[in-house]
Each structure stands twice: as structure tokens, then as C-alpha cells.
Amino acid sequence: MAATLGQRPAAPINARVEKVAHGPFFKAIWPHRAIIAINNWFEWVDEGGPKKQPYLIRRKDRAPILCAAICQYPNAEFGPNEYDGFVIITADSKGGMVDIHDRQPVTLSPELAREWLDPATPNERAEQMVLLQGEPAEAFEWFKVDRAVGNARNQGSELITPISSAGP
């Protein structure tokens, strides 16, 4: 893919679980596993109105969400470069979450997250973990939140308060 003079292609923000271990784009960093801990994430759903409706997705027990990721960072052998960073691994959504979005981060239990990070875990085992052992949709809840959440100038915990289905 040719880049415009002075610009580089946009960096990916996630990697599809189906291709991440063997696809040419991520194959080199596949062995460099990371966990990205988050409290929640948002998805915007077209419900037929003038603007998409944001939904907040979080664990029902409010524990941190441990997202499987791969990364590239500077080390003793290679210094910093423009490709350093991480990508979260995503999979097809399951259960009722598919109504919100067709993809979701691959999330791991604390025990599997420790195994994922262990350098002794073989790449083949890591692949099986993200393909088959992500947390089920039943571990999560999702609900509509105020559309103001989509504007970075808006701040405050009220942005993640559930709104009624008859809300704005």
C-alpha cells in the first residue's frame, strides 16, 4: 500500500484473532504478548436515529477487563521506532453482545492472563487461549449511555451512567 508523501498508513488498533498468530502483518510480534487492563469500552450502535447510540460494556462484577494483546517496544537490541506500541486482539462477539457490535476484545481470566504473559507459554498454547478460552458474554453487561460520551471535551462520571431505553 503506497503512502501519501510525508504520511504513513494508519496503525492498526486491533488484531483479528483468526489471523494474528499466522498473518504476515502481525507474525513478527506474535510472540510479544501483553495484557491491557481496562474498566470498560464503548460501542456505537445505529438505532435508526440521527446519531449512533453509545453503549458502555463492562464486567458485571466490575473487575478489571484483561484484554489479550501483542506488542512491540524498544529493548536493548532495538531502540525506539515509529511502529512501537500494542494492538488488542479481537474476536467475533458472542451471545447478546453481538447485537451491540460484531467484534469484541478477547478477554482473559486472571489465571489465563498470567499464563498468556508467561514467556514459557508456547506460542501454540497462546493461540489456543485466545481462540477458545476468552471470557463468555455472560460475564459482561452493556447499556446505553449519554451521547455526550462521544465528545472528548465532555468529562464526568455522569457520562457512563446508564440511561433509560426511552432516553435521548
pLDDT bin (cut points 50, 70, 90) of residue 61 is: very high
Chain centroid to Cα 97, Å, comes to: 14
Cβ(70)–Cβ(129) below 8 Å:
no
Domain assignment present for 128: yes
Distance CA 123, CA 108 (A): 16
27 belongs to a structural domain: yes
Percent of the chain with pLDDT over 70: 90
The answer to whether residue 18 is domain-embedded is yes
Domain extent, residue 43, equals 14-148
- Element (H or E) spanning 14, and its range? strand 14-16
Report the alpha-carbon angle 61-131-20, nearest 5: 115
Identify the DSSP state of 164.
-
Residue 41 domain-assigned (yes or no): yes
> Pairing between strand 85-92 and 14-16?
parallel
Among 95, 105, 146, 116, smallest CA distance to 13 is for 105
For residue range 1-20, list pLDDT tens digits in order.
333 344 455 566 677 787 77
Phi/psi region, residue 159 (left: phi>0; alpha: psi -120 to 50; beta: rest), is alpha
Number of domain units in the chain: 1
Q: What is the DSSP string of 87-155?
A: EEEEEE--GGGGGT-SEEE-B--HHHHHHHH-TTS-HHHHHHHHHH-SPPGGGEEEEE--GGGG-TT--
The answer as to whether 7 is a domain residue is: no
Predicted local confidence at residue 2, as pLDDT: 38
SS3 label, residue 16: strand
The pLDDT assigned to 12 comes to: 62
Each residue's pLDDT tens digit, 77-133: 778 877 778 889 988 888 888 888 888 999 999 999 999 999 999 999 999 999 888
Q: Is residue 110, in this structure, part of any structural domain at all? A: yes
- pLDDT the model gives residue 1: 34
Please report which confidence band the pLDDT of residue 53 belongs to, taking 50, 70 and 90 as the band edges.
very high
| Number of other CB atoms surrounding residue 137 within 10 Å | 17
Share the mean pLDDT of the chain.
Answer: 85
What's the pLDDT at 64? 97
In a domain, 154, yes or no: no
Asked if residue 86 is part of any domain, the answer here is: yes
CATH number at residue 38: 3.90.1680.10
Residue 4 pLDDT: 39
